[in-house]
Each structure stands twice: as C-alpha cells, then as structure tokens.
Chains A and B, each alone.
Chain A
C-alpha cells in the first residue's frame, strides 16, 4: 500500500510540483518590493562585471592559446591598471550602498505601530501574544501555533497536500493596511521568524526582544518557516500569517478573546472591552 502511494506521488510529481522558480519572490509589502529591487540591482551589477571579466578571460582562452601559435607577452605590471580596477569597483559599491542604506533605515523604523504582537519561539512552535488585548484577568490574548501537517504525509503514508509543512492549526491573524510591529523573542534556543512575502526575518533570541514590522496591503495567507537551526524539529515549525480586512480583524479578536476566556473560565463581560 505504502509503496503504491509513494509510486503514485512520484509519477504525478512533475505536474503537481512543477516549480522551477529561479528568482526571489517580490512579496506583497512596500519593503519586500524594495528589497526585491535591491536584489535585482546588485544581481545585474554582478552580471555586468561578470560579462566584462569572463569576456576578457574567454577571449584570451580562445585567442591566446599555444595551439594557435600564440607567443606570450612579457608585460607583468601596471600601476595605472591596478588603480583603475581598484577605483571603479569601489565607486560601483559606493553607488550600491546608497539605496541599500535607505531601505535598511526604513526597515529599522518600527515606530508608530498600530498593533504590537509578541512572537515567541519555542522548541518547536510559535506563540503569538496580542499586546493590549486584555482577556479580563490581566492576561493578553495569546495562543500557540503548531504545525498541522499529519505525520502520515511526512512519512509518505498519505499524499502530500499543497501546503505540506507550511500549515498550522492557528495562524497569526493581522489586519491589512495597519503597521504591525512584531516583538520577537524565544523561550529556549534561538529561532528566527521569517515571512518571505513581507521580507521580515528576525532572530528570536532568549533574553532579547527584537523588533520587526510590516504593513500588508493585501488580505491573504502568507507562509514562512523558522530560519535558524533550533533542534530536531527545526523544519517543522512554520509560520502562517492570515491577513484580513480591518473589520474582520476586530471581529476575530473579540471572538478569539471570548473563546479563550470561556475555555479558561474568565467572565466574558469583563473580557469584552
């Protein structure tokens, strides 16, 4: 039985998996698109330098070979050349630093956030705590987010669903078009909170609180993974962010607070702020 499932999944592979993506995803936020822009700029700078350097090199490999009767020249130094090829790359890099610095300054500006969420990495799950969303007993709205992929899919006993290893029981929910600040830390070892579509990646370090922020214009579901080796199940602690319109978010928070308050036996009237 198991053999046939593996065989079937193998045979259907190309159609179902076809993902020959070769480039970084642009993501959905202003920052992630700025990062994509920097990525493409530096990539083309490298391509241009590569074309010149390898061009000269392959020209000489073709023309200046002994089998074509090439006789070697005797020149072996030129201060002028050395200065030129020290100076030009230096100027290119300075030019590259300008936009990179601008984007970095933007990424570091987590001020004036609308919503603050404390993200805590555990071996091997995430917890999300909505700061200022009191349940009524002084505790904030908080919950764990665990991998929901069944073991049978991991061990090839069932066909894998498209969100294999990138699905959780309870996603992080945030509103669209609001500045959300993540306060990131960890409970045990170092983890890293990464959502590629937001270009947000920050290490979650025990004893430290790191900041990152995002404004997501489009509602949708965005998936990421822990990006720092954190032990056995490092590959099994995904991040799923559900971005919803603001009114939906407000309703979700109320609902979620009631649900947790009820489960914990806290009076709902107090919980409802």
Chain B
C-alpha cells in the first residue's frame, strides 16, 4: 500500500523533461549542478582573458593588444574569476552538499534558490556585453577605484554597476537560503557542534555575505549617483572624497576574500580526514578559528590601503590586526597537518589537491604576512608581489579546493568513479603549471614591476616569459578536467554509496548517485 503511494509521489515530483526542467527547477541538486556548470564556463572565460594578458606580457613591447584593451582584460579577468567562477562554484557546492550533509530533503527556500541562480547568467551576460559597447568595457581594475571608475570611466560603467547589483542580489538571497537551511533543516540530533566542517564554514561565510554585499551595493550605488545624477561622493572637486570609495570598497572587499576561502577550508577539512582515515584533529578549535578569521576580516580592510596616507596610528592598528589573522589561520594549518600525522594515508586525486592546497595556501599566507608588515608593504604594494600573493591564495587555495571537492563528491553526484589516472594527470599538470605561472611573479614584483601594466622594462622580461609559458600550460590543462567531468557523467566504474574508504558523513549514507529527492524522512544523528 505504502509502496503504491510512494511511487505516485515520486512520479509527481520527479525532474521535468527537457529544457524547462532547468528553468523551473527548485531542486537543490539541479540548482547546485547549474551553479557548478555556470562557474566552470566562467572559469574558462576568465581564463581566456588571463591568457590574453599573459600573451601580451610574454615579451616587452606591445605585440597583441593595445593598453586600453589590456586594462579591460585585467579588469574582466578579475571580476569574472572572483564573482563568476569562485563564488558560484562554492554556492553550487553548498547547494548540492549542505542538504545531504545535514539530512535535509532540500534547501529551506527552493524558489528563492532558483531565482538566485537565474540572476547570474543575466548579470554576467550584461557584464560581458559591456566589452562590445562604445568606449569599451570595464577598464578600471576589479577594485574599480573612483574616480577612474566614475568621472573617467567609459559609458559602459552603468551596465557594470547593474551587473554587480544583480550578482549581489543573487549572493544575498543565496546566503539567506543557506542560513535558513542550516538553522531549520538539520536532522534531529545534529547539534551545531556536530555539523560537518563544510556546513560550518558555509554558515559563517553566509553571514559574511549578508553583512558585506549590501556594502558593495552601497558603494556601487554611490558610483551610479556620481556618474548619472550629479552627486560628488567620490569627486574631490565637488567636495567628495576618493579615499571614501576605498574604505567602503575594502570594507566589503576584505571579508569578500574570506568568502572565497572559508568554504575551501571546510572542503579540505573533509578530504584530509577521509584519506588519512583519521578524525579531523581539533574540530572545535577549527570552528572557533574559522569564526575568529571571519570576525577579524571586518577590522583589517585598510591593509589594502597602506600607501593611501592614512594616519600613523591607523596604519599601526591595521598592521597589528592583519598580523593577528595569521594566528587562527595558522591553527587551521596545524590542525590539518596533525590530522595527517599518524594517519593511514592514500593519495587519490582529491587528497593530492587537498595537500597541495595546504602547502600552497600556506605559501600564500606567508606572503600575506609579509604584506602585513606596513613599511615593507610600501615596496610590495601594487606590484607583482601582490599579484603572486593573491593568486597563491586563490588558485591553489580556492580553485584547488573546488577541484578537490569535485573529485571527492563527483561519485556521489554522478554515481560513477572518475578515471583516476586522468584526475592525477590533471593534478600534476595543474600543480606544475600553476607554480610556473605564479612563483616567478614574486620575483618580478620584488624587482619592482608594478601590476596592471601592459608593457615593461627588459629587467622583468625573463620571469614574465616563464610566467606566460606556465599560464598557457595551466590553462590548457583545465580541459582535462572538463574531459574528466564529461566522462564521469557518461559512465565509468559504478560508485558505491560510500565511495571512499575513509569517507564520513550523512551524504555517504545515500546511494550513488544520490536520488533526486533525498532524506524525505530525516535520519537520526547520534
């Protein structure tokens, strides 16, 4: 009897057929998958822009593009990668994984979820279309400092502002959804301090998003007013203040960089224990460390502005506060290393990416610590040293964590194991390509090459050439990942429910692939 009823409800709520399934879906797995595909597409678009930059910088002199277009490429590369590739990838993973990790049937607000996603393709279509507008697209850097982005910006800047607003609305709704889901939909028995680390990291990240995306919305609205309605928020000639822009922008911008790394911390805290076959060391200190990092992220913004001329006391405060961030971040790294210590490790692709994450993110953390030393920052600021630093925390940080997560949960998503050798090939080529691209940037930055320039003196030529070769190697390597995903979706060795020997968590109690609707009856967590 009950079986009959089950069948009936199943038919009724199964995925729609065809294209409309994806337009109308409220299913967290569908929406998560769309976020991930969207992010992947943007990753290739942003990557193509990066390759334009690296082609031009292959040699001194202007060969490929004019400086004006070069500036559009650096700007678009940054915007697309930050807002189009990294953030949606993490939101996609959150959508897919949080409900199955906490034993919920779906996200708390499924229709909002659909809308959050569908704003993004429009937002980025508008942003990208600005490249074809008269006067060119966004060319003021991804940090769009006023007045370069207001009084002196191309007319397309208003489209840029609208695109950023749409993206912001999407992010705020997405994070509200995640907070609502985590607080209301956990399986009975799953107290906050029993939540998986990925869920914890996303809970904290969501609060950061809800707190700072409105600040971004504020700053771009002030830009909009300055450009179109005659106000002078950032125009000194009208009594405004160009430095105000930077304070408001970085009040958003610094938490933003943690938004791009905290979910990565969560992912790595799942993968290292799984492949070390040992419980995560210091779970509660991991939670406290993540929370401390999130708190500190609100009081360090002016370390991006050490050369702006803030007063000595302000400079000192932001230097000390910034250095303090190294403490909880260090705690996380020590906990991961201690988790590996006396484990029983194997090195499948997710583990390789996770280990590379720990090592290379730590190197990015070290250069961050160096940048925190304000007097030294006078030499590093706005050079390739900074470019090296944030690419070390974003590429082997955020992006390697996303790769690790995809390899780790792909069997759960598709029901198939990916081809291990192809995954390993992807890892090793990415690892070499990434270091070849970004490590020399430390050197050219220290030698004195400013960032965001299309042409340079010959003293910077050798390492720039190395970086360009590395960039093409890294870029082309990502096609392997595309192949891995396509191959795994189409077939391969069937994955077991618990796809990894050391895997732990509710998601592994579901069959692989996870059914379209999971946990319609909540599991019991002891």
Q: Which residues of A contact B (CB under 8 A)?
A: 10, 13-14, 16-25, 32, 34-35, 38-39, 42-43, 45-46, 49-50, 53-54, 56-57, 60-61, 64-67, 70-78, 81-82, 85-86, 89-90, 93, 96-97, 100-101, 103-105, 107-108, 123, 153-156, 160, 162-166, 188-190, 192, 194, 196, 199-203, 205-208, 210-211, 224-236
Known contacts A45-B369, A190-B145, A192-B381; 6 further A-B pairs (Cβ under 8 A): A25-B446, A60-B345, A82-B331, A97-B323, A189-B145, A236-B455
Looking at chain B's contact residues, the main secondary structure is: helix
Question: In whole angstroms, what is the CA distance A68 to B243 when docked?
Answer: 58
Interface size on B, residues (CB 8 A): 96
- Flag if A200 contacts B237 (CB, 8 Å): no
27 A-B pairs in the complex with CB atoms less than 8 angstroms apart: A13-B461, A17-B458, A19-B459, A60-B343, A60-B345, A64-B342, A64-B343, A66-B344, A70-B342, A72-B342, A72-B343, A75-B342, A76-B282, A76-B283, A77-B281, A82-B331, A85-B334, A86-B328, A96-B373, A104-B319, A165-B457, A192-B307, A205-B243, A208-B309, A227-B382, A233-B67, A235-B455
A39-B141 contact, Cβ under 8 Å, with A78-B282, A208-B243:
no
- Flag if B461 contacts A227 (CB, 8 Å): no
- Flag if B340 contacts A64 (CB, 8 Å): yes
Tell me, rounded to whole Å, the shortest Cβ–Cβ distance linking B472 to chain A. 18
Contact pick for A53, options B327, B346, B362, CB 8 Å: B362
Question: In whole angstroms, what is the CA distance A164 to B283 when docked?
Answer: 55
Question: In whole angstroms, what is the CA distance A76 to B338 when docked?
Answer: 9
B496 at the interface (CB under 8 A from A): no
Contact pick for A235, options B315, B333, B454, CB 8 Å: B454
Question: In whole angstroms, what is the CA distance A153 to B60 when docked?
Answer: 10
B508 at the interface (CB under 8 A from A): no
Question: In whole angstroms, what is the CA distance A47 to B442 when docked?
Answer: 15
B489: A residues at CB distance < 8 A:
none
- Flag if B462 contacts A86 (CB, 8 Å): no
B residues 293-348 near A (Cβ < 8 Å) are 307-309, 312, 315-316, 319-320, 323-324, 326-328, 330-331, 333-334, 337-338, 340-347
Q: Which 3 A-B pairs have the closest CB atoms?
A: A207-B236, A235-B453, A46-B366
- Considering the complex, give the chain A residue whose CB is closest to the CB of B345: A65
B148: A residues at CB distance < 8 A:
189-190, 229-231
- Considering the complex, give the chain A residue whose CB is closest to the CB of B143: A229
Tell me, rounded to whole Å, the shortest Cβ–Cβ distance linking B156 to chain A. 15
B137 at the interface (CB under 8 A from A): no
B254: A residues at CB distance < 8 A:
none
- Flag if A46 contacts B359 (CB, 8 Å): no
- Flag if A100 contacts B373 (CB, 8 Å): yes
Question: In whole angstroms, what is the CA distance A207 to B265 when docked?
Answer: 42
B206 at the interface (CB under 8 A from A): no
- Flag if B378 contacts A232 (CB, 8 Å): no
B242 at the interface (CB under 8 A from A): yes
B340: A residues at CB distance < 8 A:
57, 60-61, 64
A206-B359 contact, Cβ under 8 Å, with A66-B346, A77-B283, A89-B330:
no
Tell me, rounded to whole Å, the shortest Cβ–Cβ distance linking A130 to chain B. 22
Q: Which residues of B contact A (CB under 8 A)?
A: 59-63, 67-68, 71, 139-141, 145, 147-148, 151-152, 236-237, 240-243, 276-285, 307-309, 312, 315-316, 319-320, 323-324, 326-328, 330-331, 333-334, 337-338, 340-347, 355, 358-359, 362-363, 366-367, 369-370, 373-376, 378-379, 381-383, 442-443, 446-448, 450-463
Question: In whole angstroms, what is the CA distance A96 to B372 when docked?
Answer: 11
Question: In whole angstroms, what is the CA distance A100 to B359 when docked?
Answer: 27
A17: B residues at CB distance < 8 A:
458-459, 461-462
Question: In whole angstroms, what is the CA distance A30 to B463 when docked?
Answer: 29
A234-B316 contact, Cβ under 8 Å, with A42-B370, A77-B284, A78-B282:
no
Contact pick for B376, options A39, A200, A208, A234, CB 8 Å: A39
- Flag if A229 contacts B312 (CB, 8 Å): no
A96-B331 contact, Cβ under 8 Å, with A190-B242, A229-B145:
no
B456: A residues at CB distance < 8 A:
165, 235
- Considering the complex, give the chain A residue whose CB is closest to the CB of B440: A22
A24: B residues at CB distance < 8 A:
379, 446-447
B344: A residues at CB distance < 8 A:
64-66, 70-72
- Considering the complex, give the chain A residue whose CB is closest to the CB of B367: A46
A35-B375 contact, Cβ under 8 Å, with A75-B281, A166-B457:
yes
A155-B462 contact, Cβ under 8 Å, with A53-B333, A85-B331:
no
A76-B281 contact, Cβ under 8 Å, with A86-B327, A192-B382:
yes
Question: In whole angstroms, what is the CA distance A76 to B458 when docked?
Answer: 53
- Interface contact tally, CB-CB below 8 A: 294
Contact pick for A25, options B358, B448, B463, CB 8 Å: B448
A89: B residues at CB distance < 8 A:
326-327, 330
- Flag if A100 contacts B458 (CB, 8 Å): no
- Considering the complex, give the chain A residue whose CB is closest to the CB of B68: A232
- Flag if A229 contacts B71 (CB, 8 Å): yes
Question: In whole angstroms, what is the CA distance A13 to B60 when docked?
Answer: 11
- Considering the complex, give the chain B residue whose CB is closest to the CB of A38: B376
Question: In whole angstroms, what is the CA distance A42 to B367 when docked?
Answer: 9
Tell me, rounded to whole Å, the shortest Cβ–Cβ distance linking A182 to chain B. 12
B331: A residues at CB distance < 8 A:
82, 85-86
Tell me, rounded to whole Å, the shortest Cβ–Cβ distance linking B393 to chain A. 14
Question: In whole angstroms, what is the CA distance A210 to B442 when docked?
Answer: 28
B285: A residues at CB distance < 8 A:
77, 82
- Flag if A50 contacts B366 (CB, 8 Å): yes
A50-B327 contact, Cβ under 8 Å, with A66-B344, A73-B278, A207-B241:
no
A75: B residues at CB distance < 8 A:
281, 342
- Considering the complex, give the chain A residue whose CB is closest to the CB of B145: A190
A97: B residues at CB distance < 8 A:
319-320, 323
Question: In whole angstroms, what is the CA distance A208 to B244 when docked?
Answer: 12
- Flag if A60 contacts B455 (CB, 8 Å): no
A53: B residues at CB distance < 8 A:
333-334, 337, 362
- Flag if A226 contacts B281 (CB, 8 Å): no
Question: In whole angstroms, what is the CA distance A232 to B151 when docked?
Answer: 15
Question: In whole angstroms, what is the CA distance A70 to B342 when docked?
Answer: 8
Contact pick for B378, options A72, A200, A226, A228, CB 8 Å: A200
